[in-house]
Amino acid sequence: MESAEFHSALALLDWQIELGATEAICDAPVNCYDLPDRLVKRDVKSAALVESGPVPAAPEIDPVAEAKRIAQAAPTLDALNTALASYEHCELKRGAHNLVFSDGVPGASVMIIGEAPRRDEDREGRPFVGRAGQLLDKMLSAIDMGRDHATSPVYITNVLPWRPPQNRDPHPEEIAMMRPFLERHIALAQPQMLVIMGNISAQACLGKRGITRLRGNWAEAFGLPALPMFHPAYLLRQPAAKREAWADLLSLKARITGG
């Protein structure tokens, strides 16, 4: 095998293992779309295959209604974490190593809403621990705040608790399923204000995208003042935008100190 082929085969294998495909189950792939929608059984005497009627339809479940039902029923943050872990309607869960719930101090006046875990967060089960997270920590420390800060802590979560494959953008249905959990998360954490990091978060919290236009303008989300900002991952790619991010951090600090 050529070296390039070897490396791309290895990368493919790595990716499959990362998604949890660690076991070969059949020799040949099964196309689920081709499976009969009628039950087929083997007749014991003749050994012939006979149809025995339609497969009973599974009861239709509305994943968003189900998310609302179980999120609303959670009386505490721990219960909400458990409720999320039991939610089976989001495909992202199957490709993730860990559920990433939150970090920082619940009850902090500022709650930061990120987008979705990436590789490092998926491995550790904590939000914002990779390069973007390290930049976020520096940004917070520049205004004397932080996830572990003794007097000015923040609380951090993401719109999505599971890593999308290859960090793709979440689909609108995935955001819609996770929104009831986010809403309940905010209600239970009781922050005084939100920081909305990036477009996915703006979509989930404000119902619109366009972070370049939205950033720096205080808005309202889930009944709270909310500041949209550039996502730290964007700032890593576009360091010139740190100027605007700094202005937004100062605006956040002024709001907290009542300035």
By the criterion CB under 6 A, which residues form the site for ligand URA?
114-118, 121, 127-128, 130, 132-133, 158, 197, 233
Query: Minimum distance between the CB of residue 113 and ligand URA, rounded to whole angstroms?
Result: 9
Q: What is the closest distance, in whole angstroms, from the C-beta atom of residue 202 to ligand URA in the complex?
A: 12
How far is 219 from 225, CA to CA, in rounded Å? 6
Nearest approach, Cβ of residue 104 and ligand URA (Å): 12
Rounded to whole angstroms, the Cα distance separating 121 from 92 reads 14
The residue with its CB nearest to ligand URA is: 114
Nearer to ligand URA, 121 or 248 (CB): 121
- Which residue lies nearer to ligand URA by CB, 158 or 203? 158
Q: Which is nearer to ligand URA, 54 or 239 (CB)?
A: 239
Least distance in angstroms from the C-beta of 215 to ligand URA: 15
Q: For residues 156 and 108, what is the distance between their CA atoms, to the nearest angstrom?
A: 10
Q: Smaller CB distance to ligand URA: residue 177 or 235?
A: 235
Nearest distance, CB of residue 172 and ligand URA, angstroms: 17
Residue placing its CB nearer to ligand URA in the complex, 8 or 212: 212
Neighbours of 13 (CB within 10 A): 11
